[in-house]
């Protein structure tokens, strides 16, 4: 059974806080988009099975680049 995808938000001090686990990458992308509308922040998605970060809104791979000025 696949472990799904974990969504994290980066706190002001740089540490991550777990937000949710979803079954698919598409669900993760939709959830991040929804979260960014309600609580603007840097979010990243981690494949719970491999531990690899597959999407990072702060780097512009899943949303707008928050660090661009």
pLDDT of residue 58: 80
List the structure tokens of 2: 């696949």
pLDDT digits (tens, 9 = 90+) for 19-62: 999 999 999 999 999 999 999 999 999 999 999 999 998 854 44
> What pTM value is reported for the model?
0.80
Band (pLDDT 50/70/90 cuts) for residue 1 is: confident
User: Which two structure tokens, joined as six digits, stand for 35?
Assistant: 């979260």
Mean of the pLDDT values across residues 6-15? 96
Beta bridge partners of 7: 20, 45
Output the pLDDT for position 69.
35
CA 50 to chain centroid: 15
Beta-carbon-side half-sphere exposure of residue 37 (alpha carbons within 13 Å) = 5
């Amino acid at each position: 059974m696949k472990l799904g995808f974990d969504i994290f938000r980066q706190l002001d001090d740089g540490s991550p806080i777990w937000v949710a686990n979803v079954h698919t990458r598409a669900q993760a992308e939709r959830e991040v988009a929804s979260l960014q509308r309600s609580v603007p922040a840097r979010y990243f998605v981690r494949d719970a099975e491999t531990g690899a970060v597959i999407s990072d809104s702060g780097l512009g791979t899943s949303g707008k680049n928050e660090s661009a000025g």
